[in-house]
Amino acid sequence: MLKEKYYQAFAVYVGSNIVLAAAAATLCAYIAPAAAGSGIPEVKAYLNGIDAYSILAPSTLFVKIFGSIFAVAGGFVVGKEGPMVHTGACIASLLGQGGSRKYRLTWKWLRYFKNDRDRRDLITCGAGAGVAAAFRAPVGGVLFALEEAASWWRSALLWRTFFTTAVVAVVLRGFMEFCRGGKCGLFGEGGLIMFEIHTENSAYGTPDLIAIILLGVIGGVLGSLYNYLVDKVLRTYSIINERGPGSKLILVVGVSILTTCVSFGLPWFSQCLPCPSDLDDQCPTVGRSGNYKNFQCPPGHYNDLASLFFNTNDDAIRSLLTSASDKHFQLSSLFIFFGAIYCLGIITYGIAVPSGLFIPVILAGASYGRIIGRLFGSVATLDVSLYALLGAASFLGGTMRMTVSLCVILLELTNNLLMLPLLMLVLLISKSVADIFNKGVYDQIVKMKGLPFMEAHAEPFMRQLVAGGVASGPLITFSGIEKVDNIIHALKTTNHNGFPVIDELPSSDSSELCGLVLRSHLLVLLKEKKFTKKKVSIRSEILRHFKAHDFAKAGSGKGVKLEDLNFNEEEMEMFVDLHPVTNTSPYTVVESMSLAKAAILFHALGLRHLLVVPKTPGRPPIAGILTRHDFMPEHILGLYPHLNPHK
C-alpha cells in the first residue's frame, strides 16, 4: 500500500484472509461442527436441561479456541466474546465429568462433581467466567450468568459464580502485569478497563434526553430487524450446511472474499483528512494497529474509514468511543461503516466458524450513536463519545434483550458511572420496543435449532387443558422383577429414557406403582448380568455388588451402550430385579390437574419425567408420562389445533 501497489496489496490481503478462514472452517466442519456460531444459545439450552450431542465435548473446546482465533484474525465481522462463554462452559463440563478418558485427562477427585446439579452449577460458573474474561467485567459476568444463561438460580450459586469471576479478574491482572510493554502482542491493551471514556462534561439537558429516547427506539427497531434477518440467513445457511463439510468450507470462503472486498473497497470512497497537529500518537499509523491509517492518502493525511476497517475490533471500538476533540469522523464514513458492519454481521453469523455477536453489535451501535450525537451536536451538551456508548447499549438491548447484565458490563468496560441512569433508560426503551416485534437473538436461535427449551411460565392456552390430555402414549411399563428379554426388546424398540415399574399385589388382581427406572440404570444393571432363573427378589445382593458412582451420569461419549451388551438364549429367559435401581418416590400429578400448573411444576423442579396417575380407582396405576416434549407449544397445538392463538 505504501508503494502504491494496490492490486498486489489486495491479493496479499484476500489470500491471507482466505487461508485463515479456511483453517477455521476446516476445524469446524471436520472435527467439531458443534463449535460453529457463538455457543451461547447451546450453553443456555444445556442449563435449561437439554444435553445436546457434543456441545461441551473436549473436541468442541479445542475447535472453539483455535477456530475463534482464526476467524477473528481472518477479518470476519465476528467477536470472541460468545466463543469465550462457550469455552468457559466446555472447561467447566470437562471438570464436571471427571475429565476425559478418550484424551487421557482424568482426575479421581473430580468424580464428586459427577451429578447433574454440580455439573450444571460448574457450567453456569464457566459461562460467567467467559464473559468476565472477554470484557474484563467480573460483576457483569455474574449478572450475565444469572440473567441470560441459567434457568435455575440459588444463593449458593451466586457466591460461587462471584468467586469464579473474581479469580478470572486476578489472573487477568497478573498476565497484564507480566505482558506489560507489548511482550504478548496486543493482549492487555487498555488495562482492566478496555474502553475507558475520558470526558470533562457528563451533564445533560432536555435535548440530550430526547436524543437518547430516539436512540433507544432506533436501537429497538434495528435490533429486531437484525434478529429477523439473522433468523432468515441461518435458515438459508442450514440448507447449504446440510450438504456436507465441503459446502460449509465453500460458504465460509465465499463470505471471507466478500468481507475482504467490502473492507478493502469501501475506504476508497472516503476523503483523506489531514493529521491533527497536537497528536501524541504517530500519524499516519504504519506497520501496526492504530487509529490513523494512511491507506491511499498522501503523507501527513489519514483515511478515517480505513482506520476503522483496518484495525483490531477493540481499537475500532476505542476510536468510536473517543471524544470529538480527540478524533474526527466524517458523517459519510460513519454511515458507510454502520451499513457495512450491520450487513456483514448478519451474513457472517451462521457460517461454520466460531463467531460472537457482541463485537459486531457494539461496532454498529457505536457508529449510529456517534451519528446521532453529531446530528444533535448544536443543541446537545453530551459528547459524541457518550452518544456512541449509548448507541452501542441501545443496539445490544435491541438484539439480545438483556438489561441488568449489559448495563453493568458497559459500565465496567468504560469506567463511567455517571452514565448509569442514561444507560438504564436506553436499554429499557430498546428492549421494550424490540419485544413488540420478536424475541431475543439467542432465544430465536434456540428455537430454530429445534431445542425443546422450557420457559418458566406456561402458555395461556395450557390453562384450558389437563395433564392427562397430552401425556404421550403408548405406555411401556415393567414389572418389579422383569424378564431380561422384555427389557432388551423395550430398549431396542423405543428411545424412552424412563420406564414406570409396576408391582402386582399378591392378595388381589390389582397392581400398584412402584416407581420409575432410567434407561442408563437399566443398562448398567444388565451389563453386570445379576440375573435369576426364577422370579425372586435379590435386592440385598445387587445393593452389595454396586456402588453409587456406578450409576453416576456418564460423560459425553461414555456410559454403557445397548449395542455393547450380548446375551445368550438362556440369559434372555432369566429375570432381573429392578427394585434396587428404581426411584420409588417419583414426582406424580393426577390426570385432571391443569396442564399450566403441571408445566410450572415441571420447570420449577427441573424434572425429566412427570408421572400422571389416574383419578379414579380400579384402573392401571399409571395413566401416562409427561416429558419436556409434551409441554412444547408445537406438540400441544398439533394435538389441539383449535387452541392456536395465531389462527
Q: What is the pLDDT of residue 282?
A: 75
Residue 307 included in any domain? no
Q: What is the pLDDT of residue 372?
A: 94
- In this structure, the answer to whether residues 466 and 523 fall within a common structural domain is yes
Per-residue pLDDT tens digits for 561-605: 888 888 888 888 888 888 888 999 999 999 999 999 999 999 999
CATH code of the domain in which 413 resides: 1.10.3080.10
User: What is the arithmetic mean of pLDDT over 81-107?
Assistant: 81
- In this structure, the answer to whether residues 357 and 392 fall within a common structural domain is yes
Q: Which SS3 state, helix, strand or coil, does residue 3 take? A: coil
- Tell whether the model's pLDDT for residue 556 goes beyond 60: no
CB-facing half-sphere around the CA of 645: CA atoms within 13 A? 6
Q: Tell which of 400, 417, 449 closes a domain.
A: 449
- Tell whether the model's pLDDT for residue 104 goes beyond 70: no
Identify the H or E element spanning 172.
helix 155-178
Q: What is the pLDDT of residue 461?
A: 92
Which is it for the CA torsion 546, 550, 552, 557, positive or negative?
Answer: negative
- In this structure, the answer to whether residues 507 and 536 fall within a common structural domain is yes
- In this structure, the answer to whether residues 236 and 353 fall within a common structural domain is yes
- Tell whether the model's pLDDT for residue 334 goes beyond 60: yes
Which is it for the CA torsion 510, 515, 518, 523, positive or negative?
Answer: negative
Alpha-carbon gap, residue 231 to 237, rounded angstroms: 10
Residue 246 included in any domain? no
In Å, what is the CA distance from 578 to each residue of 7, 530, 588? 74, 11, 20
The string over 315-343, giving b where at least 16 C-beta atoms fall within 10 Å of a residue's C-beta and e elsewhere, is bbbbbbbbbbebbebeeebbebbbebbbe
Residue 208 near residue 382 (C-beta atoms within 8 A): yes
Residue 229 included in any domain? yes
SS (H, E, C) 257-316: HHHHHHHHHHHHHCCEEECCCCCCCCCCECCCCCCCECCCCCCCEEEHHHHHHCCCHHHH
- In this structure, the answer to whether residues 38 and 127 fall within a common structural domain is yes
Q: Which SS3 state, helix, strand or coil, does residue 228 take? A: helix
Q: What is the pLDDT of residue 113?
A: 67
Q: How many CB atoms lie within 10 A of CB 414?
A: 20
Percent of the chain beyond pLDDT 70?
94
Q: How many CB atoms lie within 10 A of CB 495?
A: 7
| Alpha helices, DSSP H, located in 349-467 | 358-375, 384-400, 404-414, 420-437, 441-448
Q: What is the pLDDT of residue 160?
A: 94
Q: Which residues make Cβ contacts (< 8 Å) with residue 333, sequence separation at least 6?
A: 270, 304, 305, 308
Q: What is the mean pLDDT of the chain?
A: 89
Residue 286 included in any domain? no
- Tell whether the model's pLDDT for residue 114 goes beyond 80: no
Q: Tell which of 412, 427, 449 closes a domain.
A: 449
Q: What is the pLDDT of residue 359?
A: 93
User: Domains in the chain: how many in total?
Assistant: 3
- In this structure, the answer to whether residues 464 and 442 fall within a common structural domain is no
- In this structure, the answer to whether residues 183 and 60 fall within a common structural domain is yes
Q: What is the pLDDT of residue 36?
A: 92
User: What is the arithmetic mean of pLDDT over 169-195?
Assistant: 81
Estimate to the nearest angstrom the gap between the alpha carbon of 611 and the chain centroid.
Answer: 31
Residue 278 included in any domain? no
- Tell whether the model's pLDDT for residue 557 goes beyond 60: no
Of residues 305 and 644, which shows the higher confidence score? 305
User: What is the arithmetic mean of pLDDT over 95-116?
Assistant: 67
Helix axes 358-375, 206-241, angle to 10 degrees: 150
- In this structure, the answer to whether residues 184 and 211 fall within a common structural domain is no
Q: What is the pLDDT of residue 62?
A: 95
The residue count for the chain: 647
Residue 301 included in any domain? no
Per-residue pLDDT tens digits for 614-637: 988 878 889 999 999 999 999 999
Q: What is the pLDDT of residue 505?
A: 78
- In this structure, the answer to whether residues 505 and 414 fall within a common structural domain is no
In Å, what is the CA distance from 636 to each residue of 334, 466, 471, 498, 629? 48, 11, 10, 21, 9
Alpha-carbon gap, residue 537 to 278, rounded angstroms: 90
Q: What is the pLDDT of residue 121?
A: 92
Look at 185-199, 225-239, 514-528 and tell me which has the smallest mean pLDDT.
185-199
Alpha-carbon gap, residue 141 to 89, rounded angstroms: 13
Q: What is the pLDDT of residue 418?
A: 86
Q: Tell which of 449, 473, 493 closes a domain.
A: 449
Q: What is the pLDDT of residue 473?
A: 67
Per-residue pLDDT tens digits for 486-510: 999 999 998 889 999 998 877 777 7
Residue 302 included in any domain? no
Residue 220 included in any domain? yes
User: What is the arithmetic mean of pLDDT over 337-342?
Assistant: 96
- In this structure, the answer to whether residues 394 and 517 fall within a common structural domain is no
CATH code of the domain in which 565 resides: 3.10.580.10
Q: Which SS3 state, helix, strand or coil, does residue 542 take? A: helix
Name the residue range of residue 520's domain. Answer: 460-639
- In this structure, the answer to whether residues 171 and 118 fall within a common structural domain is yes
Per-residue pLDDT tens digits for 250-308: 999 999 999 999 999 999 988 888 887 777 777 777 766 677 888 888 888 888 899 89
Pairing mode, strands 610-613 and 624-626 = antiparallel
- At 558, the pLDDT band (50, 70, 90 cuts) reads low
User: What is the arithmetic mean of pLDDT over 211-218?
Assistant: 95
* Grid coordinates given for 348: 457472517
DSSP string of 56-114? Answer: T-HHHHHHHHHHHHHHHHTT-S-BSHHHHHHHHHHHHHHHHTTEETTTTEE-GGGGGG-
- In this structure, the answer to whether residues 465 and 386 fall within a common structural domain is no
| Number of helices (H), then strands (E), in the chain | 23, 12
- Tell whether the model's pLDDT for residue 533 goes beyond 60: yes
Q: What is the pLDDT of residue 647?
A: 63
Q: What is the pLDDT of residue 541?
A: 79
- Tell whether the model's pLDDT for residue 173 goes beyond 80: yes
Per-residue pLDDT tens digits for 376-415: 888 888 889 999 999 999 999 999 999 999 999 999 999 8
Of residues 160 and 287, which shows the higher confidence score? 160
